[in-house]
Amino acid sequence: MQPTENVQVGVEVMVEGEGLSEVEIVRLPEGSLAKEIVVAVATRSGFPAEEAILFVEDCEDPVDLALIIEGNLMDRVHHVHRVRKIEVGVFYQGRRIQERFAPSARVQRVLDWAIGSKGFKIDPTIAPEMELALHGQTTALPKNAHIGRYVRHPHHELAFDLIRGIVPNGASR
Amino acid sequence: MTGVSPAEQAIRADLDSARFQAGVRRGQWRQVSYTFPVLIVAVTATEPDASSNEYCFRFELTGFPGVPPEARIWNPAANAMLENNKRPKGSARVTGAFKAWDKGTVYRPWDRLAGAHGNWTTAYPTLAWNPKRDLTFALEDLHGLLTSNTASRFDRPSA
């Protein structure tokens, strides 16, 4: 990332975020504050850093930007976004369910909810074959992707379809 | 980079990438060994009884990424393919992906030999290999399959 080039010694933080299509590595000087992760992503994605929030992957509550990046904070994948909660809708067999997730939620976490007892209660024998695709599409999304990568502020809604994955005998069911 | 082939450069770039390293930090896979053109990676799994396990995969990467990886489920101690009775269990999707078939590789469209048979490359472009893919693409697919048993164990409403 441009603002963090030429950092010789420091910390490496993995981050996803609004405007980023993939997880990236941010390199910052030792002792940097969490706020610097936000600044790096905001600069890259072209939005004001003061509007953005920092999350840890799959955690719903924002991170205190005054924290020094060390220990557990350094080991986790982060997410920077201007939306605090995303209204997620999932469609399956003519029904729609909805729930709110932080943008740092992985597709896997939304999938777990959608097939589980609070979602569509998918039969356990076929549940392992289920995937999520963007609504109206048929390509299964990567399960590690943070849902925030699919939403750009001021939008705060996201729709998925629950689909059957490809089975290995070459036929799609 | 004198003496280092384009394939070796591409593999090194993949292993150093944020995508690969994020999987390592998440505990989803770990590099076991690498001597070009063979990379061995252990991928975390969830067994049908919900216990954790890991399975090793041997990637033969000659010509990577222009040539798809040739991936076999592996027993590093024996330096041979994993015995059939020790392969992953679970849904038909899981057992099918890791079954013993005549070419011996992982039965997924991105694999060099599996993808070349039948019409998988054209039928399933989203899972087929192309030179823009990276190692993490294959590892995410393997990890997704190997942990899919989790999905059959979520709390269910009373029957």
Q: Considering only CB atoms, which residues of chain B are within 8 Å of chain A?
A: 18-19, 21-23, 25-26, 28, 90-94, 96-97, 99, 107-109, 118-120, 123-124, 126-127, 140, 144, 148-157
pLDDT (tens digit per residue) in A14-61: 999 999 999 999 999 999 999 999 999 999 999 999 999 999 999 999
Mean pLDDT rounded to a whole number for chain B: 92
Distance to chain B for A23, nearest Cα, Å: 6
Per-residue pLDDT tens over the stretch B56-78: 999 999 999 999 999 999 999 99
| Residue B32 backbone dihedrals phi, psi, to 5 degrees | -95, -50
pLDDT the model gives residue B131: 97
Which DSSP letter does residue A73 get? H
DSSP annotation of A3: G
pLDDT score recorded for residue A155: 96
Whether ipTM exceeds 0.85? yes
Asked if the model's pLDDT at residue B128 lies above 80, the reply is: yes
| pLDDT (0 to 100) of residue A173 | 35
CB contact under 8 A, B118 and A170: yes
The candidate with the shortest Cα–Cα distance to B152, out of B52, B44, B50, is: B50
Chain Cα centroid distance, residue A127? 22
Chain B residues whose CB is inside 8 A of the A14 CB are: 18, 21-22, 25
pLDDT, tens digit, for every residue of A79-109?
A: 999 999 999 999 999 999 999 999 999 999 9
- A120-124 — which CB contacts under 8 Å span 24+ positions? A120/A90, A120/A92, A120/A93, A120/A95, A120/A162, A121/B156, A121/B157, A122/A162, A122/B151, A124/B151, A124/B152, A124/B153, A124/B154, A124/B156
| Interface contact B18-A14, CB threshold 8 A | yes
Roughly how many angstroms between the first and final C-alpha of chain B, as a whole number? 63
pLDDT digits (tens, 9 = 90+) for B12-51: 999 999 999 999 999 999 999 999 999 999 999 999 999 9
Position B157 pLDDT exceeds 50: no
Given a cut of 80, whether residue B1 has pLDDT beyond it is no
Predicted model pTM:
0.91
Looking at the predicted structure, is the pLDDT value of residue B159 above 80? no
The answer to whether A77 and A145 have CB atoms below 8 angstroms apart is: no
Tokens found for residue A22:
């993939």
Distance in angstroms (rounded) separating the CA atoms of residues A42 and B103:
48
B156 pLDDT tier (thresholds 50, 70, 90): very low
Residue B112 has pLDDT above 50, yes or no: yes
Query: What is the reported pLDDT for B158?
Result: 34
Nearest alpha carbon to residue A34 among A8, A63, A57: A63
| Site from B20, B24, B25, B28 to mutate, A interface, most A CB atoms within 10 angstroms | B25
Domains along chain B with CATH numbers: 6-155 (3.10.110)
Query: Of the candidates A60, A34, A61, which has an alpha carbon nearest to the alpha carbon of residue A49?
Result: A34
B64: phi then psi, degrees, rounded to nearest 5: -60, 140
